[in-house]
C-alpha cells in the first residue's frame, strides 16, 4: 500500500475541476490505465458533487480526498463532516425510463456503482462520512447492478 496523496477543499461546486485534476494527475502515477483514470475521475467527481450539493446542502464544509494504491486497486477515500448518508440507501436509477418519467437527479450514485468495483461507506467515530471508491487499475469493473 502506498502512502496516500491528499487534496483538501472547501465544499463548493467551483472546486470540482480541481478535484478532477487531482485524480487525473495522481491516478496514473498509481498505475491506473487510461480507462481506469477516466472512471475514477468521474466517480470521484460524482461523489464530491453529492457531498457539496446534498451533504452540505450548499452551505460549505471541509472535504478531504485521498488516493492510494492497495494491491491491484486504486482507492479514492472521501471524508466530509456533513450529516451521515449511506449511498447504499439511495434508490436505484433506471436508465431505461423514458424522458417524462425520469427523476431529475439520482444518476450520480448510479454512475459510481457502474464505474467502480466497490463503493463503501462508514461513519467515523467523530461523525461525518468516509466513503471509499475502489477500482481495479486495469480491469473493467464487473457489472453487478443488473441494469448496466
CB 73 → other proteins: shortest distance, Å? 21
Q: Cβ(72)–Cβ(32) under 8 Å?
A: no
Of 32, 35, 119, nearest to 77 by C-alpha is 119
What are the strands of the beta sheet with 118-122, ordered from one edge?
5-10, 62-70, 73-80, 129-136, 118-122
Q: Which is nearer to other proteins, 41 or 134 (CB)?
A: 41
CB 99 → other proteins: shortest distance, Å? 5
Q: Which is nearer to other proteins, 74 or 109 (CB)?
A: 109
Judged by the rule CB under 8 A, the positions of this chain that interact with other proteins are: 13-14, 16-17, 20, 38, 41-42, 45-46, 49, 52-54, 93-105, 107-108, 110-111, 114-115, 148
Question: Strand, helix or coil at 144?
Answer: coil
Amino acid at each position: 500500500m502506498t502512502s496516500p496523496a491528499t487534496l483538501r477543499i472547501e465544499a463548493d461546486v467551483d472546486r470540482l475541476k480541481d478535484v478532477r485534476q487531482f485524480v487525473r494527475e495522481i491516478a496514473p502515477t498509481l498505475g491506473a490505465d487510461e480507462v481506469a483514470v477516466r472512471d475514477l475521475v468521474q466517480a470521484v467527481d460524482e461523489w464530491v458533487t453529492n457531498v457539496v450539493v446534498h451533504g452540505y446542502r450548499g452551505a460549505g464544509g471541509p472535504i478531504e480526498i485521498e488516493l492510494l494504491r492497495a494491491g491491484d486497486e486504486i482507492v479514492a477515500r472521501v471524508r466530509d463532516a456533513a450529516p451521515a448518508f449511506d449511498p447504499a440507501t439511495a434508490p436505484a436509477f433506471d436508465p431505461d425510463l423514458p424522458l417524462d418519467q425520469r427523476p431529475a437527479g439520482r444518476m450520480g450514485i448510479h454512475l459510481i456503482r457502474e464505474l467502480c468495483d466497490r463503493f463503501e461507506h462508514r461513519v467515523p467515530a467523530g461523525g461525518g462520512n468516509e466513503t471509499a471508491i475502489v477500482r481495479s487499475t486495469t480491469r473493467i469493473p464487473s457489472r453487478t447492478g443488473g441494469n448496466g
